[in-house]
């Protein structure tokens, strides 16, 4: 049966999933790449970027799940672009088409939550970005229809993931707690009091210093 999953979503010790001051040059703000260094060191990631080597332990085992079994993704506008408000450059050479180049790593339909819908963008490798305005339930229905028997990935950012968790729409969430303090930014756990009453929580510590938390809906 199709599930709604989160994989490899990194937060700091103080619960921030992104830093403050997001720009096109700094998509995670002042956090930089510190939240994701654990993944960059894995064999999975290095093979994705055409490099050899990398760790093969628990971090790699979790990282490998990122691309397995998904037929669609939902992301917030902040994951797709640092801009807000009406889109600019649509249909021109200046059109923003995401952070990932001409062949994004999703290879599925991707539903971008935004208050400013716009025409879809078809990319190489099977990725199609659809820009939709709707409730989490409405957008999830679209994604599930596109995914068929495969799972739907909730890709972030922080605000939309928090909304999906609060609405009880996530079946399995893999959250990676990274041993850094950001102090500011967007915090995941705000207004999710007693989430553990709806989810079974397991934790696995890694020699890299991160802790892998798996929340499975009861």
106-128: string of b/e by CB count within 10 Å (b at 16+)? bbbbbbbbbeeebeebebeeebb
- Give dist(CA 40, CA 10) in Å, integer: 12
Q: For the chain, give the percent of residues with pLDDT over 70.
A: 100
Tally of CB atoms within 10 A around 213: 17
- Give dist(CA 6, CA 18) in Å, integer: 16
Mean pLDDT of 114-135: 96
Give residue limits of the domains in the chain.
Answer: 4-84+103-217
Beta carbons within 8 Å of 101's beta carbon, 6+ residues apart: none
Residue 1 pLDDT level (bands cut at 50, 70, 90): confident
pLDDT at 25: 87
Q: Is 151 buried (19+), middle (13-18) or exposed (0-12) by CB count in 10 A? A: buried
3-state DSSP call for residue 38? helix
pLDDT at 83: 87
pLDDT at 143: 98
- Give dist(CA 163, CA 173) in Å, integer: 13
pLDDT digits (tens, 9 = 90+) for 18-31: 999 988 889 899 99
Mean pLDDT of 39-46: 95
Mean pLDDT of 165-179: 97
pLDDT at 48: 87
Residue 37 pLDDT level (bands cut at 50, 70, 90): very high
> Quick check: 165 pLDDT over 90?
yes
Token pair listed for 47: 């093979």
pLDDT at 125: 95
pLDDT at 66: 86
What class is the 4-84+103-217 domain? Answer: alpha beta
Q: What mean pLDDT, rounded, does the chain reach?
A: 95
The torsion defined by the Cα of 76, 206, 30 and 47, in degrees rounded to 10, comes to -70
65-85: string of b/e by CB count within 10 Å (b at 16+)? ebeeebbbbbbbbbbbbbbee
pLDDT digits (tens, 9 = 90+) for 57-111: 999 999 999 889 999 999 999 999 988 899 988 888 889 999 999 999 999 999 9
């Amino acid at each position: 049966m199709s599930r709604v999953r989160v994989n490899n979503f990194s937060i700091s010790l103080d619960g921030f999933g992104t830093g403050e001051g997001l720009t096109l040059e700094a998509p995670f703000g002042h956090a930089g790449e510190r939240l994701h260094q654990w993944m960059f060191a894995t064999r999975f990631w290095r093979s994705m970027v055409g490099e050899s080597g990398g760790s093969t332990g628990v971090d790699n085992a979790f990282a490998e799940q990122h691309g397995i079994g998904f037929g669609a993704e939902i992301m917030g506008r902040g994951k797709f672009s640092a801009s807000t408000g009406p889109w600019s450059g649509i249909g021109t050479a200046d059109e923003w088409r995401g952070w990932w180049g001409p062949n994004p790593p999703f290879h599925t339909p991707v539903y971008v939550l935004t208050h400013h819908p716009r025409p879809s963008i078809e990319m190489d490798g099977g990725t199609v970005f659809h820009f939709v305005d709707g409730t989490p339930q409405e957008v999830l229905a679209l994604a599930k229809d596109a995914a068929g028997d495969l799972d739907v990935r909730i890709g972030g950012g922080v605000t939309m993931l928090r909304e999906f968790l609060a609405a009880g729409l996530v079946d399995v969430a893999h959250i990676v707690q990274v041993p850094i303090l950001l102090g500011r930014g967007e915090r995941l756990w705000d207004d999710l009091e007693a989430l553990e009453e709806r989810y079974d929580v397991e934790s696995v510590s890694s020699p890299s210093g991160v802790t892998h938390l798996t929340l499975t809906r009861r």
